[in-house]
Amino acid sequence: MRPVELKKDIYWVGAVDYSIRDFHHYSRSPEGSTYNAYLVKDEKTVLFDTVDAHKYDELVKHITEITDPESIDYIVCNHLEPDHSGALPRIVRLCKPEKIFCSPMGLKSMSSIYDIDGWPVEVVKDGSRLNIGSRNVTFLETRMLHWPDSMVSYLEEDRVLISNDAFGQNISCPERFADELSHEKLLDAMKGYYYNIVLPYSANVLKTLKRVSDLGLPIDVIAPDHGVIFRTPEDVAFVIDSYRCFAEQKPMPRAVVAYESMWGGTAKLASAVADGFDDEGVPCTLINLLTSHCSEVMTALADASALVIGSATRNNMPMANTMACLANMKGLRPLNRVGGAFGTYGWSGEAPKVIAEALADMKFDMPAEPVKCYFNPGKEDLDACRRLGSSIAAALKAKCAG
């Protein structure tokens, strides 16, 4: 890869990680990821963010193709999670910057992760402006979008928003711009990223989008720290509209049935539940939790507002992947959903009740009683699960219509 100029004297100098499959334990990243960093050459040369520590050499190689790293005057740390700051200690040693800028909470994170003794750190507050020559940079705090220290940097004259994690996608590819990919591929990656990382902060997303709109900030380019860059008016509108849509979580007439079977009985019930959705004309996706990661359930919820979870009962509880799925989902706080539960058992049969209570605790509408059956489902059990799917589908359609 080579550095890429996104506007005059503004360069992408980050790194593509084709290997990563576990995106810092938030989600799977089956298509890898990128760590974007940006270099701006003006009277002051400024580096916005760095990369994961293991990509230090790539970052330096890209910077060196544009300028001597020692000519970097300022480093801006929009967020201190190590995928953006891991290379920072070595970059500081190499560049000897005049100043390092971060948010107030950024300083707290930075001093916890690194030995910053002697670093020329300067805290910038929300709305602070920095002149770097012919350009001015405005820093906007975006607390809990998605960490307490998160901020974005806006290059006023160029109308470029360096948005850090916001608007990111886990994609590894040689292309650097959204207009070089299909919107279908891009949207899939955006959904996976949003639903596994940003979803709990949806209220902040809507607040931030409103704030940007109220400030009347013209934006030509959105340059996130993961994935591709949005540089056309159509793509800037596309990513903003997509985020608004993700954050609003309006009911969508699709369903997901996620299940974990021990000896095959719960899998049969899952198919029967899916048939019930089919009877009502609601498209339904089946996810086997034994072979799929819990982040795939969250990604599927980007298109679906009904979720029915089934698990065999083991030692009076749902099976382990089902519990992981529920715990993961609880933290991600999906809204406006309809739910249900089912499962087989050999001894007792608590799993459906435990699942139903967990979903109700997450404020899911629960229009039907959980269904449980002994060991190998018979016709009555399968019919009961088919009715479960149909009744949840009917409730979902009513919710969508309302």
Q: Which residues of the shown chain bind ligand FEO in the complex (CB under 6 A)?
A: 79, 81, 83-84, 146-147, 165, 225-226
Q: Which of 17, 49, 56, 79 is catalytic?
A: 79
Q: Which of 52, 58, 165, 235 is catalytic?
A: 165
Q: Dihedral sign for Cα 48, 54, 56, 62, please.
A: negative
Nearer to ligand FEO, 163 or 313 (CB): 163
Buried b (16+ CB within 10 A) or exposed e, 250-280: ebbbbbbbbbbbbeebbbbbbbbbbbbbbeb
Is 146 designated active site? yes
Q: How far apart are CA 287 and CA 255, in angstroms?
A: 11
Whether residue 284 contacts residue 274, with contact meaning beta carbons closer than 8 Å, is answered with: yes
Is 54 designated active site? no
Nearer to ligand FEO, 17 or 225 (CB): 225
Chain residue whose CB lies nearest ligand FEO: 81
Residues whose CB is less than 8 angstroms from the CB of residue 113 and which lie 6 or more positions away in sequence, other chains included: 80, 82, 85
Q: Read off the DSSP letter of residue 165.
A: T
Q: Which of 193, 194, 195, 201 is catalytic?
A: 193
Shortest CB 76 distance to ligand FEO, Å: 15
Is 24 designated active site? yes
Phi, psi of 88 (to 5 degrees): -60, -50
Q: Which of 42, 49, 83, 280 is catalytic?
A: 83
Is 79 designated active site? yes
Nearer to ligand FEO, 28 or 146 (CB): 146
Shortest CB 313 distance to ligand FEO, Å: 37
Nearer to ligand FEO, 97 or 224 (CB): 224
Q: Which of 70, 103, 61 is nearest to 85 (CA)?
A: 103
Is 158 designated active site? no
Q: Which of 303, 299, 293, 297 is nearest to 359 (CA)?
A: 297
Is 56 designated active site? no
Q: Which of 5, 18, 22, 24 is catalytic?
A: 24
Report cis status (omega within 30 of 0) of the bond before 146. Answer: yes
- The residue with tokens 């990563």 is 20
Question: Helices 233-248 and 202-215, interaxial angle, to 10°?
Answer: 140
Shortest CB 79 distance to ligand FEO, Å: 5
| Secondary element (H or E) of residue 386 | helix 379-401
Nearer to ligand FEO, 17 or 83 (CB): 83
* Token digits of residue 289: 């939790």
Shortest CB 146 distance to ligand FEO, Å: 6
Is 25 designated active site? no
Is 9 designated active site? no
Shortest CB 266 distance to ligand FEO, Å: 36
Q: How far apart are CA 368 and CA 39, in angstroms?
A: 56
Shortest CB 197 distance to ligand FEO, Å: 7
Nearer to ligand FEO, 82 or 133 (CB): 82
Catalytic residue set: 24, 79, 81, 83, 146, 165, 193, 226
